[in-house]
Amino acid sequence: MAYLIHLAIISSLYAILGISLNLVVGYAGLLSVTHAAFYGIGAYTTALLTLYAGWGFFTSLVCGMAIAGCAACGIAIISGRFKGDYYALVSFGFNIIVFSILLNWQTLTRGPLGIPGIPRPVVLGMPLVQNGHFLLLALALLGVVYMASEWIARSPFGRALKGIREDEEVLRVFGYHVATYKTIICSISAMCAAVAGSLFASYISYIDPSTFTLNESIFILSIIILGGLANMRGSIVGALIFVLLPELLRFVGFPPDIAAQTRQVVYGLILILLMMYRPQGIMGEYAL
Amino acid sequence: MDIVPQLVVNSVIAGSLYALITLGFNLIYGTTKFFNLAHGVFAACGAYTVFWLVKIANLPLNLFVACAIGVICAGFLGWMLDVLVFLPLRKRKASSMVLMVASLGAVTAIQAVLAILFTSQFQTLETGGAGSYAYDVLGAIITETQIIIIVSSVCVVAMLGYIARYTTFGKAVEAVRDDEEIARMVGINTNRIISKVFFIGSAIAGLAGILIGFDTGIEPIMGMNILLKGTIAAIIGGVGSLYGGFLGAFVLGFVENFGIWKISGEWKDAIAFIVLIIFLLVRPQGIIKR
């Protein structure tokens, strides 16, 4: 049971990450491979503020969202000029830059040593020590992110984004300020990723930069491509599959090191097969 | 002041390695117009083939023969990936983003397979003796392997320049690069040409991987690191341009190595990407525009 709760928490974290990345990739059509950077910003903000400044979880969460949002805003202004694969490459770059900062700004982040002993959130005076209670918080935040994203996707703003995805020039001719739309959606997406980061930090209680690498961004991208672009429920399904699938491999009885690598092989093959036979994923309404 | 000659030598070595990756990458990008992220992984494949031949199977092979087999193996794997994955996708007129994501999947899978076969630890190809003799050039240290790296990158660029200019194959590649449809209309088997390009490009990547293996060491993820540098060099120099990529690689090598003159070496990757972003903002077409 404890194991299932653990899996449920991890799945909901990845569902939050998937949904938020879907806003950028699925709706705005920008192939972003830098989501782990915002995830990391959220995690590090919560870790540092709760441990060293003694702030509560929720204030640190809001702070993390603000910082990630600002970072994404700056990144979007620079990368907004690029399209298609160039955009993807530039977003690669930002992930590596943020990773380098986490790894090398040792006075702040303790570098590769990581930050241990991050406290659990306190809700209504009660610390969420039990994983079951933490799961409720994670699900609640997942619900908030899901509803917010659905609302954005259905709003006129979301429709304009889809228009940008299909044909940017037309929207520009109609007088939409395309760059602003892209910047706003990137910031919102980054803020949601920071929520997942804060949850992750307080759940695992130890973070180090190796969690927030390019591979993690690729993993999150695989989730939404499998689940389907421009479909929020698809992202949740994708997250569930990608978290649970390797657990099945564990029961096959491979040694842990091999199991971890087999997982990577499976992810890679899934990506290739999806691209070849079903580029829109399980329930997507938009294909790259 | 005494550090400057060493920095120059290091920059030239790094530049030569990046050039090897960039040359193959540009060749493939030129004909297929997508970022083949799996390109770097063939560097690792080549290096691991040599590693297997020399260190695990312990075959009584001449080192050069082993390297040649490694290069051919890498080329063969590149060709196979094209035939199995990219060719069907191209026939379906998939967008360049789809091809890129598929190549991303290929990297993830191939890297993991290498890690399963050879463990994910950092290993060295160094066989003791061969290639480790160090020379002193104007106060900078350079090993035999590193001299081979520089020489081979110059040889490869000269060879590719020759092929592009004087052979029928080179002209066919040029035609596919300019317009695949028209090339097909005039009777060029474009898919065959592209497959061959994949073979050549991946073989060059394999050579780079083997040289890196002898110089520093090998690990399954080496492909991704070197590929990112190769891509940056390609964009700095001008994507798809043969000599542009060569030039871009050396620009990147110098900026990276002089960038860490005063700060810690761990910032190298970040510096490389900052250079990329500056170039994309200021001169997106690269140094030499195609």
pLDDT of residue B132: 65
Q: Of B46, B62, B28, which Cα lies nearest the Cα of B205?
A: B46
**Residue (of A188, A22, A164) closest to A83 by Cα position:** A164
- A261·B115 Cβ contact <8 A: yes
Is A68 a residue whose pLDDT tops 60?
A: yes
B278 and chain A in contact, CB less than 8 A:
no
* pLDDT tens digits for range A229-266: 888 888 899 899 888 887 777 777 777 777 778 888 88
The DSSP H or E segment spanning B137 is strand B134-137
- What are the structure tokens assigned to A91, written together? 């977003």
- A vs B: CB pairs below 8 A: 121
Give B261 to chain A, closest Cα distance, Å.
16
Residue whose structure tokens are 């620009």: B251
Q: What structural domains and CATH numbers belong to chain B?
A: 3-282 (1.10.3470)
Answer whether A262 sits within 8 Å of B116, measured CB to CB: yes
Q: Is A56 exposed, middle or buried (0-12, 13-18, 19+ CB in 10 A)?
A: middle
Does the beta-carbon distance from A218 to B109 stay under 8 Å? Answer: no
Residue A204 falls inside a structural domain: yes
- Residue B128 has what pLDDT? 60
Contact A10, A243 (CB under 8 A): yes
Whether A270 is in a domain gets the answer no
B133 CB within 8 Å of a chain A CB: no
Interface with A, mutate which of B41, B82, B89, B101 (most A CBs under 10 A): B101
pLDDT in tens, chain B (290 residues): 578 888 888 889 999 999 999 999 988 988 888 888 899 899 999 999 988 888 887 777 778 888 899 999 999 999 999 999 999 998 888 888 888 889 989 998 998 899 888 887 888 877 665 666 777 777 778 888 888 889 999 999 999 999 988 999 989 988 888 888 888 888 888 889 999 999 999 999 999 999 998 888 888 888 888 888 888 898 888 887 888 888 989 999 998 888 887 777 778 888 888 888 888 888 877 777 76
Q: Contact A271/B94, CB-based, under 8 Å?
A: no
CB atoms under 10 Å from CB of A7, counted, come to 15
Res B164: pLDDT: 87
Note the pLDDT of residue B142: 82
Q: Report which of B265, B271, B257, B270 is spatially closest to residue B13, judged by C-alpha positions.
A: B257
Q: What is the CA radius of gyration of chain B?
A: 19
Helix, strand, coil share of chain A (percent; to 5): 80, 5, 20
Residue A113 is assigned to a structural domain of this protein: yes
- What per-residue confidence (pLDDT) applies to A45? 92
Q: Give A198 to chain B, closest Cα distance, Å.
A: 25
More confident residue, A21 or A131: A21
Residue B280: its pLDDT value, please? 82
Point out the residue among B88, B109, B281 whose CB comes nearest to the CB of A269: B109
CB contact under 8 A, A97 and B108: no
pLDDT at position B131 is 60
Partner-chain residue, chosen from A261, A268, A269, that has the shortest CB–CB distance to B116 = A261
Q: Is residue A64 part of a domain?
A: yes
Quote the domain boundaries for residue A112: 2-212
Q: Which of B91, B104, B119, B120 to mutate to test binding with chain A, by most A CBs within 10 Å of its CB?
A: B104
Closest CA–CA distance from residue B19 to any residue of chain A (Å): 19
Instruction: Tell me the residues of chain A between 191 and 250 that have a Cβ less than 8 Å away from chain B.
Output: 214-215, 218, 221-222, 225
Which residues on B lie below 8 Å from A261 (Cβ)? 112-113, 115-116, 120
Q: Is residue A208 included in any domain, yes or no?
A: yes
For B270, the closest of A84, A96, A270 (CB atoms) is A96
A192 within some domain: yes
- Determine, yes or no, domain membership for A80: yes
How many Å apart are CA A29 and CA A32, to the nearest integer?
9
Q: Give residue for tokens 């700056």.
A: A74
If DSSP codes are grouped into helix, strand and coil, which group holds residue B251? helix
Indicate whether A19 pLDDT > 90. yes
Cβ contact (<8 Å) for A272 and B106? yes
In angstroms, what CA-CA distances link B122 with A2, A211, B90, B220?
A: 36, 20, 36, 8
> A105 to chain B: which residues are within 8 Å by CB?
none
Give pLDDT, residue A63.
92
At A269 the three-state DSSP class reads helix
- CA distance, residue B61 to nearest chain A CA (Å): 31
The alpha-carbon gap from B125 to the nearest alpha carbon of chain A, in Å, equals: 23
Counted domains in chain A: 1
Determine whether the interchain pair B98/A288 forms a contact, defined as Cβ–Cβ distance below 8 Å.
yes
Who's near B84: CB < 8 A, 6+ residues apart? none
φ and ψ at residue A222, rounded to 5 degrees: -60, -40
- Indicate the pTM of the whole model: 0.87
Q: Are B273 and B281 in contact (CB under 8 A)?
A: no
Residue A150 is assigned to a structural domain of this protein: yes
- pLDDT score, position B129: 59
Closest Cβ–Cβ partner in B100, B120, B277 for A85:
B100
Question: How do residues B41-64 score in pLDDT, each as one tens digit?
Answer: 999 999 999 888 888 877 777 788
Q: A232-252 vs A256-277: helix axis angle to the nearest 10? A: 140
From residue B99, how far is each of A198, A212, A288, B82, B111 by CA, in Å? 34, 25, 10, 11, 18
Residues of B in Cβ contact (< 8 Å) with A101? 270
Tell if the CB–CB gap between A279 and B116 is shorter than 8 Å: no
Does residue B239 belong to the interface with chain A, where contact is any CB pair within 8 Å? no
Q: Is A265's Cβ below 8 Å from some Cβ in B?
A: yes
Work out the minimum CA distance from B4 to partner chain A, whole angstroms: 24
Q: Given this model, what pLDDT does residue A146 score?
A: 93
